[in-house]
Structure formats: C-alpha cells, structure tokens
Amino acid sequence: MNDKHITELLDNTPLASLSVSELEQIRSHAHVCEPCRDAFAAAQLSAVMLKERAQAVTEPSPFFQTRVMAAWREQQATESVPALWRLWKSARTLVSSMALTTAALGALSFMVSAPTTTTNVMDQTASAPSAESVIFGQDNDDQLTYEQVLNTIYVDDEDK
C-alpha cells in the first residue's frame, strides 16, 4: 500500500467509523512509512479535537441571560396576583356573553307568553251566550227565563 492509499483512507472516513481490519492495515503501513505515520497521528489528534469541539458546551450570551431573567421576573410578578382575579380576567368575556344571552332569552320568553294571555280573555268573551245560542236553545237553555228569550227575539227583529 502506498502513501496515497493511506491518506485517502484516512480522509474518506472518520477514524471512529473505520473497521478493525482497515485500522490494522493503516497501522501496519504507518509502522514502516514515516509520512503516513505523521498523517495517521494528525488524523487521530484531529478526531479527538473534533469530538471535544462537538461536546463543548457553548456559553449563553449575556443578552440571553438578561432575557431569561426578565421573563422569569415577569412570571413571578404574574403569579403574585390573586388567583380569583386572574380567573376573572381570563373568563370575563365568556361570563359577559353568557349573561347577555340569558337576558335575551328571558326577554324572548316574556314576549312569547304575552299573546297567550290575550287569547284566554278572548276565549272567555266568546264563551258568553250569543243570540243564536239563546234562540236555538243551545247551551244555556236552562239558565234563561222565557221573558229573556222573547226580549232577545223581538229586540233583534226591531233592530232589523
């Protein structure tokens, strides 16, 4: 295996992904070839550093910390407001709309029940004895006197 082959193998694949046989091949060649030994050593160090770089925890910026602290303080201030007040603030729209709906329904039911009363009065008026019922002896025959019957007949005739 020449120098080019080893460096190509080193550059093609991450060291951690090389198979045991590939690593053995590289090691055995690097043992006899100085440039390849340096290349392998450099690849090993690079791999270690890249792994450390990937695992390094990035420090948050001061602005990020300020924003987080401001949000946290705001949350603390919100939590100090009484729970009932917060509940009212969040639900007042719903409660108002429910009250309005109830009032509207009450007004509607009042308006619907009013004509029913009028009808009852008219029914009572209609149940009074009419001239026809008196003449033809319907319904209230037993309650009318003879004079009432005659009066009804002759008054009607005189009107005509």
Partner 1 sequence: MTVSDLTEEEDKWLEQHLPDLEEKSVENSVVAADLADRLLSVLSPEDQQALLMIDGEQASIKEVAEATGWSESKVKVRAFRARKKIREAMERLMGSKREVMSR
Question: Can you give the binding site for partner 1, defined by CB under 8 A?
Answer: 7, 10-12, 14-17, 38-39, 41-56
Beta carbons within 10 angstroms of residue 36's beta carbon: 23
Q: Which residues does 78 contact at the CB level (< 8 Å), separation at least 6?
A: 86
Least distance from partner 1 to the Cβ atom of residue 55, Å: 7
**Residue among 43 and 134 whose Cβ is closer to partner 1:** 43
**Residue among 52 and 159 whose Cβ is closer to partner 1:** 52
Least distance from partner 1 to the Cβ atom of residue 58, Å: 10
Q: How far apart are the first and last CA of the chain?
A: 141
Ramachandran region, residue 138 (left: φ > 0; alpha: ψ -120 to 50; beta: rest): beta
**Residue among 1 and 107 whose Cβ is closer to partner 1:** 1
CA–CA dist 49, 45 (Å, integer): 6
**Residue among 46 and 97 whose Cβ is closer to partner 1:** 46
Least distance from partner 1 to the Cβ atom of residue 32, Å: 17
**Token pair listed for 157:** 């005739």
**Amino acid at position 36, single letter:** C
Least distance from partner 1 to the Cβ atom of residue 64, Å: 20
